[in-house]
Amino acid sequence: MTLERGCIQVYTGNGKGKTTAALGLALRAVGWGLRVCVFQFIKGGGPYGEHLIADKLAPLFTIIQTGRPGWVNTKDISEDRRAAQEALERARVILASGEYDLVVLDEINGAVRFGLVDVEQVLELISLKPETTELVLTGRNAHEKVIEAADLVTEMREIKHYYKAGVPARTGIEM
C-alpha cells in the first residue's frame, strides 16, 4: 500500500504529546504496511522506548537518532549546530529518496529554535517531499513559515503537567 496523497503535519506547543503523536502515526502506518522513518534531531541521548521497539517493527520502521547526548549547549551552539547540519543532510537524502511513506522529523522545530538549523533550510527540506510521502514535523515553537507550509497543524497546549507536582521524567513514559 502507498498513500495517494501525502500531507505535511506539524505538532507543536508546550504540552506533552508531540513526539508520541508522531510515534502513534508511525505505529498506525506500519500496521498498514507503510514504510516509516522517524528521524530525530537533538535527541542523542536515550535509549527511549521507541528505539527499543524498532527491531520488532523492522523492516517497515526505521528510527535514526542524531545530536549530541544531553541537551543543547545554549551557551555555545557550535557543536550542536554542526551535528544538526550533518543530520539535515541525512534527512534530505532520506526524504528525497521516496523510500518511505511516512517521514517524521522529530524535534526539528527545536533545532530551528536553537539556531542549529535555519528555517529556510527546513522549507527547502520540505520542498523535497515526494507527493505520496506524509511528512510530520514536531517540536515546540514551530516557526510561522513552517506553519504556513503545513497542511495540518496541532498545538499541544499544556493544561496541567505532573512535573509541576514533582513527577520526574519516567522511563517507559517520557523516555
All cell numbers assigned to 115: 539556531
Least distance to a copy of itself, CB of residue 86, Å:
26
β-strand pairing of 134-138 with 102-106:
parallel
Least distance to a copy of itself, CB of residue 91, Å:
20
Least distance to a copy of itself, CB of residue 25, Å:
5
Report the Cα 86 to chain-centroid distance in Å.
Answer: 16
Smaller CB separation from a copy of itself, 69 or 172: 172
- DSSP string for 89-150: HHHHHHHHHT--SEEEEETHHHHHHTTSS-HHHHHHHHHT--TT-EEEEE-SS--HHHHHH-
Smaller CB separation from a copy of itself, 75 or 160: 160
Least distance to a copy of itself, CB of residue 116, Å:
24
Residues that bind a copy of itself (CB under 8 A): 1, 3-5, 7, 9, 11, 13, 15-32, 34, 48-53, 56-57, 101-102, 134, 147, 150-162, 165, 167, 170-173, 175
Q: Mention every residue, 6+ apart, whose C-beta is less than 8 A from residue 110.
A: 41, 42, 72, 139, 140, 141
Smaller CB separation from a copy of itself, 79 or 158: 158
Smaller CB separation from a copy of itself, 16 or 92: 16
Round to whole Å and give the CA distance between 4 and 49.
31
Smaller CB separation from a copy of itself, 5 or 75: 5
Sign of torsion over alpha carbons 76, 77, 78, 80: positive
Least distance to a copy of itself, CB of residue 122, Å:
17
